[in-house]
Amino acid sequence: MIVPERLLSQLAIVGISQAELARRVGISQQAIHKLVTGGSRSTTSLHKIARELDTTPQYLAGETNDPASDAPPAPSAAQMAEMLDLVPVASIDLAYGMGGTFADGHVSVEVMHFPRQWIEAMTRTPPAALTWARGRGNSMSPTIEDDDIVLIDRSDRSVKDQDAIWAFTIGDIAMMKRLRIRGETVTILSDNDRVPPDKAHPDEINVVGRVSHIIKRL
C-alpha cells in the first residue's frame, strides 16, 4: 500500500516528473498519477518505483520513516509491544445487557495492549484469560451503569463466589448479573431494586467469566 504523500515527495526530491517515472518503470503515466493522488494504493511495480526514487518499498508503504535505501524496516506491532513491555488483552464489541442482550450475532474481537505492571496490579490472572467488554442497560445500577467498561476474568467460570457478578449466557442472551446457586436452582439477581430476581436451572447457564473490575466514567 503506497502512501501518496511519500511518493509525491520523493518525486520532488529526485527531480523527475510522473511521466518520466512511468517511462523508467515501464507503466503508464495514468497508473503513476493514480498512485500519487490516492486513486490507487497498490502496484506490482513498487520495488521498481522505489529504486528509481532512491528509496525503499518499506518507506513508500509507510512501514518505516527513514527514506534511505539501507534503512531497517520499522518494528512490528508485536516487537513494539515487547520493547514497551505491553501485554495483549482481548476486547469484544459485545455489550452484555444487564437486562439481556442477544449474543447470537458476530462478535468482533480486538487485541489491545496495556502496560504489564498495570494489568498485574489489577489481577493475577494471565492476560490471555482476560476480556474487556461493556455493560448495557440499568438493571445493575448503580454498580454497573450503561456503557461502563468491565473486565471479565475468563479463568474463573465456577460459581463458587455466591452473589458475585458474572458474565454469562442463557441461550442467545448475554447478561451480567449476580448469581446465587442453591441445589438445582440459580437465582439471577439485579442490583437495581426495581428489577425482580429471575430463576434458571444450572444447565441453562453458560458462565463466560467473573466480572473482576468495573471502569466508570467520572
Backbone phi, psi, residue 94, to 5°: -80, 120
Q: Are 89 and 130 in contact (CB under 8 A)?
A: yes
Q: What is the CATH number of domain 82-215?
A: 2.10.109.10
State the average pLDDT over residues 126-149: 91
d(CA 23, CA 198): 74
Q: What angle do CA 158, 208, 180 make, to 5 degrees?
A: 50
Residue that has been written with the C-alpha cell 438445582 in this structure: 184
Give the rounded percent of residues in the chain with a pLDDT score beyond 90.
51
Condensed to tens digits (0 to 9), the pLDDT of residues 144-166 reads 998 899 999 999 888 877 789 99
The pTM score is 0.63
d(CA 4, CA 32): 10
CATH code 1.10.260.40 region(s) in the chain: 4-74
d(CA 54, CA 16): 12
pLDDT level of residue 168 (50, 70, 90 thresholds): very high
Q: How many CA atoms lie within 13 A of 110 on its CB side?
A: 9
Condensed to tens digits (0 to 9), the pLDDT of residues 9-58 reads 999 988 999 999 999 999 999 999 999 998 888 888 999 999 999 898 88
Condensed to tens digits (0 to 9), the pLDDT of residues 61-90 reads 888 888 875 555 666 777 788 888 999 998
What is 4-74's CATH number, 3.40.50.880, 1.10.260.40, 2.30.40.10, 3.40.50.300?
A: 1.10.260.40
CATH code 2.10.109.10 region(s) in the chain: 82-215
d(CA 69, CA 14): 13
